[in-house]
A and B are shown apart, each in its own frame.
Chain A
C-alpha cells in the first residue's frame, strides 16, 4: 500500500512515515505545495495524508485538483487548525476523513486502514489475526470458528488492536479512540474493557494476545 504524506513539518512527517512503514505501508513524503501537486498528479496512492497549511499554497487546492483529475486516492486531512470550516470544506471537497493535530500515530493508522478498507473493498473486508477472524461488514468476531460476543466498545478496541498489531498503544490513545478527545482520565475504564476483551478471546479459543507493557500501555501480539 502506498501512502503520500503531505506535511511541511519534517519531524512530523518522519514520525508518521516511521510508524506507518512498520505497518507495511510504503511512504512517500511531500513537504511543500509544488511537490505535493507534482506527486499527486503523476502517482497513484492508496491514501494521501494532507496538511492544509502548506508553504506555497492551500492543501485544499490539491483536493480540488484530485477531484478534477477524477482520481480516487483516499484523502485524510491532518490539520493543526482544527477549524470547523476547514473540516466541512475538506469533506465537501471529497476528503474521506479529518484528523486534527495532535493525534496518536495509532489513531492515524487505524483511520487510514478504515479509509482504505472502505474505498478499496467497499467496506467488505475480513480482518485476520492468527486465529481471530473479524468480519467488518457484519461486525462479527470468530476465534477458531467460535463466535465471540463482544460489546460495541470491545469490538472497536479489538479492531484498533488488530490494526496496530505488534505496536505498543498508550492508554491515552485507546481512551481517545473509544470515547473521543474530551474524555480525559478514564484509564480505569480501559483496564476493565481490556480485561473483559482478553477473557472473552481466551474463553473462545485461547487467543491471549493482549499484553500489558509495564508503565506504557498495551500491545497486541502473538507472543
Chain B
C-alpha cells in the first residue's frame, strides 16, 4: 500500500467524522441560542401583556399574525406555572410542518384566571439553521476535495526526492564504479536520508572493493607457497623405494594441494572478473570458440559414448573478453560432459541471441536455484569444487547476459540470453 493511500485511509474518515461531529454540535448550539432568543421575545410579549392588563384591567385582544399568536383560555386552576414548549403544526397552505415556540402563563383579570398562550413561529430560526448547515456542509465538502487533491499533488511532489533516492538505490551496483546521484532537497528528513544513503553505499562499495582486493591479494600470495608444496610433492613422487604408507601420505598431500590450487585459481578468477580485470571486450566469434571447445572435449565425450547434437549457427559475434568467452564455454560444455552418464546425449544450440546447452544426467536432488551459488555441488562425492557454474554466472553477470538453469524431462538445460 502506498503511503498516500495509507495516509488517506486514516485521514479522510477522521476528517469526515470530526467535521460531522462539529456540524452536529454547531447545529445544536445555534439551535439552542436561537430558541433562547425566541424565548426572550416571548417573555417580552408576556411582560407587555401583563403591563397591558395592569393598565387597562382587561384582556388584550387575541391576535393571530403570521409569526405570532396570542390566545387566552379561561381556567380554574390558579396553580399553573409558566412553561415553554415547542409545538408542531401542519400548515396546509405551505404544505409543510411548522414549529412554534409557545409560552404559557397564568394571568388574572377581574378575578378570572386565564392561561395565556403566546406562540412564535420557529420558521425563521429553522431557515437560518438550514442555511448555516448548508453553508457549513458545502465548506466541508469543498475542503475535503481541496485537501484530497492538494494532498495528492503535494505529497507526490514532496516525496519526489525520496522516490528518486529509492530509484537510485535500486540501481545501485556494488561492482560498478559510479556513485549514486541524489537530488538536492531542502527537506531535512530527506537530506538526512540522502546523506545516510550516500554514506552507506560508499562504505559498502569500499568494503566490497577491499574484500575483493583482499581475496585477490591473498590468492596471489597463496600461489607461491602452493607452488612449492606441489613441486616438492612431485619430486617426492619420484623417490625410489617408498612404502605403501608413504605413498598414501604423498597421495593425500597431492590431492589436498591440487584441490587447494584449483580452489585458489577459481577464486582468483572470480575476483578478477569482479574486479573488472577483463575489461577489453571485443567482438568474438562465439561459433568458433564453441566449435574449438567441442573439438577439445570431443574425445572426453566419446569415452562416455555421449552423442553430441550440434545446431550451431555460423558467425555469431558477441561482445566479450576472449579469455572469458573460452572459460564460459568450456565450463558449460565440461559440466555437460562431467555430469552426464554413459551413452548420454548433449544438445547444443547457438543462435543469434542465445546459447542453449542441454544434457542428460541424474535428476538434481537439491534446489536447482542454488546451482549458481558458490560451493554448491551436485554431489559431495565429486571432486569438483563447485565453482564452475558460479564462474559461468559471474561472467554472464559481467556482460549482462541472462543465464538460467532448468531440469526438464531428464535434461539439464543451461540457457544464456545474450541481450
Q: List residues of chain A with CB under 8 Å of any chain B CB.
A: 9, 11-12, 15-16, 18-19, 22, 80-84, 100-106, 151-154, 167-168, 170, 172-173, 179-187, 189, 192-193, 214-217
Contact = CB atoms under 8 A, between A and B. Distances in A.
17 contacts: A11-B231, A12-B231, A15-B235, A80-B220, A81-B220, A102-B227, A105-B234, A154-B299, A172-B254, A181-B262, A182-B330, A182-B391, A183-B330, A184-B385, A186-B300, A216-B250, A216-B251
Contacts of B327: 182
Interface string B232-246: 101101100000100
Contacts of B296: 179
A11 to B, nearest CB: 4
Interface string B379-417: 000111100100100000000000000000000000000
Contacts of A168: 237-238
B234 A106 contact: yes
A100 B264 CA distance: 12
Q: Which 5 A-B pairs have the closest CB atoms?
A: A102-B227, A15-B231, A185-B383, A101-B227, A80-B223
Contact of B248 (A80, A106, A215): A215
Contacts of A154: 299
A9 B229 CA distance: 12
Contacts of A81: 220
Nearest to A105: B234
Interface residues of B, number: 45
B303 interface: yes
Given A18-B235, A151-B299, A82 B251 contact: no
From A151, A184, A216, residue with most partner B Cβ within 10 Å: A184
B265 interface: yes
B35 interface: no
Contacts of A179: 296-297, 300, 334
B237 A153 contact: no
Nearest to B261: A102
Contact of A215 (B224, B247, B300, B331): B247
Nearest to A85: B277
Contacts of A183: 330, 334
Contacts of B330: 180, 182-183
Given A102-B261, A179-B300, A12 B228 contact: yes
B237 A9 contact: no
Nearest to B330: A182
A11 B297 contact: no
A186 B388 CA distance: 14
B97 to A, nearest CB: 98
Contacts of B227: 9, 12, 80, 101-103
Given A179-B296, A186-B338, A9 B228 contact: yes
A15 B224 contact: no
A167 B383 CA distance: 25
Nearest to B259: A184
Contact of A184 (B231, B238, B251, B383): B383
A18 B236 CA distance: 11
Given A15-B228, A182-B330, A102 B254 contact: no
B223 A172 contact: no
B338 A19 contact: no
A182 B277 CA distance: 19
Contacts of B179: none
A104 B334 contact: no
B234 A170 contact: yes
A170 B268 contact: no
Given A83-B277, A102-B223, A102-B261, 4 more contacts: A15-B231, A182-B331, A182-B334, A217-B237
A73 to B, nearest CB: 23
B258 A172 contact: yes
B224 A9 contact: yes
A180 B254 CA distance: 18
Interface string B63-86: 000000000000000000000000
A189 B296 CA distance: 13
Given A80-B223, A179-B296, A184-B384, A173 B234 contact: yes
A186 B327 CA distance: 17
A84 B278 contact: yes
Interface in B260-282: 261-262, 265-266, 268, 277-278
Contact of A104 (B228, B229, B230, B382): B230
A131 to B, nearest CB: 25
